[in-house]
A and B are shown apart, each in its own frame.
Chain A
Amino acid sequence: MTGTPMVSIEKVSKDYQRGAETVHVLQELDLEVQPGEFLALMGPSGSGKSTLLNMIGGIDRPSSGAVKVDGQRIDTLSEGKLAPWRARNVGFVFQLYHLLPVLSAAKNVELPLLLMNLSKSERRQRVAAALELVGLADRARHKPAELSGGQEQRVGVARAIVTDPKVLLCDEPTGDLDRTAGDEILDLLQALNQQQGKTILMVTHDPHAAGRAERILHLDKGKLVSAAVT
């Protein structure tokens, strides 16, 4: 691996207190992800993969160690600074899509753009482009309840990329979809990685989905146990 990593994890540990017991979710983990890389994180439930993803996305903090994204250390940023940092730098794709049910597809995609200093027409253009990219231009006015699971997740992907972030963090993006719809999402992510150079970190249980990544890391009990290049 060469160059400045897009994501750098240095001796990161994460502990939770569950009653009198201390749970070690991550233990002195080191990881580097290069710009433009597509990485899959696999492991059994409770292995710490989602926690790791959340730390890279600035929605959780390590108990110790350092998390850097695009050269910036984010684990020391205050909550007030992390929120706008997330809006500018990271796109999230969730297993259950987490679209706002009261908003149309277009408005869901537009949501993160409200945090950027853009005119109404600029926002409209970006939303149209993102929906076009995921193949849902004709569903812009539909509410989530009027879309299939695969379409909802595509709206989720459009929302994640509309701010043009460098990093996409995907937590089980195909976990709630059938194989066909899941493959469509994976095609989309692969295209974003290969054509637009997005750095993608994807948590998955599914070896088929992980096979689309360039590199697969396995976590168990908070430690990296193996790595593979596809």
Chain B
Amino acid sequence: MTYLSLILASLGRRKVRTIFTFLSILVAFFLFGYLAAIRSAFVGGVDVAGVDRMIMTDKVALINLLPESYRQKILATEGVADVAAATWFGGYYQEQRNFFAQFPVDSEAYLRIYPEMKLSDEERSQWLADRQGALLGRALADRFGWKKGDRIPITSGIWQNKEGTRTWDFNVSGIFDAEEGFDTSGMLFHYEYFDESRAFGDGLVGWYIIRIENAEELADVATRLDAQFANSPNETKTASEKEFLQGFANQIGDIGAIFTAIVAVVFFTLLLVVTNTMAQSVRERTGDLATMNILGFKRSSLVGLVLGESALLALVGGGLGLGIAWLAVTLGGDPTGGFLPSFFINPRDLIAGALIILGVGLLAGALPAWQTLGVKSVEALRRVV
């Protein structure tokens, strides 16, 4: 017999109660893991945003377009290393529910600015050589089962082409992968094809992605850039990519705050449930603990046993809950079928989950353990009598 077998035996004393407590811990940590993935999906881009990248948009509203002529002026600005324009295409495949993000971009510059995108040299060359070529993210290709060489019609909700239709044809030139957290649910195509084919809006782009030479000069370069276009019909607002993405995510709501609020309520309730269970369990075993103390077990050992019980319960229940959440997220993938492209549990959240497990285990056991310390063994046995 060991101390662990003593703990297991105590947990087995009221099997049904232990199972229910175990399940509530499991469900709480499953919820934590799954919600963490949802939060990552909304703000995940913020975490992987390049520290040396900035986004320039119209000062008034993101939907206002900027002149193409800004490109050269931006590139000529002191501290700027590279620039690529991008525009919101707002299209879908066949039906509106098959919506996903498409951007006409400055192809070569865009690939230079986003080295996180992984694609073979062959695919890169093929894309650059094909005027109607499109580069798909892995998640997007998997979603519709598209492969290299497919010809796909995309209907834009905004842009009509010169043929008088909103449906544009593209050739799949390649499929790119990326490191975890980088969005692969979208499609890129050539700005030249877009600009030459669109029926209106010639020479206008949605925003500019700017890479700067020195990340520490980000604020200075942004000020310099915006100053250039001040008092023009298209004043600009330049911010770090992180700030831009955070602002974009906040349009939906402060996902981080919502996540924190839900998780706080869940864990507070869980703490009450587990503490109550442990307190009941210890109260029922007051006589047993007193007997052990009389037999020679130090009070510190008895406190250790009580804390060990709650810690073990939290560790197994919480670990399993997080594990199941990880499996559901990893194997099940995005539950919305494409709206949450960066759906994964950030390792940082797993570490936070592990710390919360430890916290719940120890805090839930603390009060009953303290009760154990306070009871005199002789009196406890008298009570049992």
Which A residues contact B (CB, under 8 angstroms)? 54, 57, 59-60, 79-80, 83-88, 92, 94-96, 98, 100-103, 107, 110-112, 114-115, 123, 159
The reply to whether B296 and A112 form a contact with Cβ atoms under 8 Å apart is yes
Q: Which of A80, A92, A123 contacts B295 (CB 8 A)?
A: A92
Q: Which residues of B contact A110 (CB under 8 A)?
A: 1
Distance in Å: Cβ of A155 to nearest Cβ of chain B: 13
Interface residues of B in 1-52 (CB under 8 A from A): 1-3, 5-6, 9-10, 12-13
Interface residues of B in 272-293 (CB under 8 A from A): 287-288, 291-293
Q: Which of A54, A83, A103 contacts B297 (CB 8 A)?
A: A83
Known pairs A59-B293, A100-B288, A114-B6. 14 more at Cβ < 8 A?
A: A79-B298, A84-B298, A85-B296, A87-B297, A88-B296, A92-B294, A94-B381, A98-B288, A100-B291, A107-B5, A110-B1, A111-B295, A112-B295, A112-B296
Distance in Å: Cβ of B82 to nearest Cβ of chain A: 69
Distance in Å: Cβ of A67 to nearest Cβ of chain B: 15
Q: Which residues of B contact A85 (CB under 8 A)?
A: 296
Knowing A54-B378, A59-B378, A102-B9, say if A86 contacts B384 (CB, 8 Å).
no
Q: Does B102 contact A (CB under 8 A)?
A: no
The reply to whether B298 and A114 form a contact with Cβ atoms under 8 Å apart is no
The reply to whether B10 and A115 form a contact with Cβ atoms under 8 Å apart is no
Q: Is the interface of B mostly helix, strand, loop or mixed?
A: helix
Q: Which 7 A-B pairs have the closest CB atoms?
A: A87-B296, A102-B9, A98-B291, A83-B298, A86-B296, A112-B295, A115-B296
In angstroms, Cα B305 to Cα A115, docked, is 14
In angstroms, Cα B300 to Cα A198, docked, is 30
What's the interface size class on B, roughly?
20 to 34
The reply to whether A101 and B385 form a contact with Cβ atoms under 8 Å apart is no
Q: Which residues of B contact A60 (CB under 8 A)?
A: 378
Interface residues of B in 215-234 (CB under 8 A from A): none
In angstroms, Cα B292 to Cα A59, docked, is 12
Q: Which of A54, A88, A101, A107 contacts B13 (CB 8 A)?
A: A101
Q: Which residues of B contact A100 (CB under 8 A)?
A: 9, 288, 291-292
Which B residues contact A (CB, under 8 angstroms)? 1-3, 5-6, 9-10, 12-13, 287-288, 291-300, 377-378, 381, 384-385
Q: Which residues of B contact A102 (CB under 8 A)?
A: 9-10, 12-13
Closest to A159 in B: B295
In angstroms, Cα B288 to Cα A80, docked, is 19
The reply to whether B10 and A98 form a contact with Cβ atoms under 8 Å apart is no
The reply to whether A83 and B381 form a contact with Cβ atoms under 8 Å apart is no
Q: Which residues of A contact B295 (CB under 8 A)?
A: 86-87, 92, 111-112, 115, 159
Knowing A96-B384, A100-B291, A114-B3, say if A84 contacts B13 (CB, 8 Å).
no
Q: Which of B6, B291, B292 has the most chain A CB within a 10 Å cutoff?
A: B291
Q: Which residues of A contact B297 (CB under 8 A)?
A: 83, 87, 115
In angstroms, Cα B1 to Cα A103, docked, is 10
In angstroms, Cα B296 to Cα A101, docked, is 19
In angstroms, Cα B297 to Cα A115, docked, is 7
Knowing A54-B378, A102-B12, A110-B1, say if A96 contacts B296 (CB, 8 Å).
no
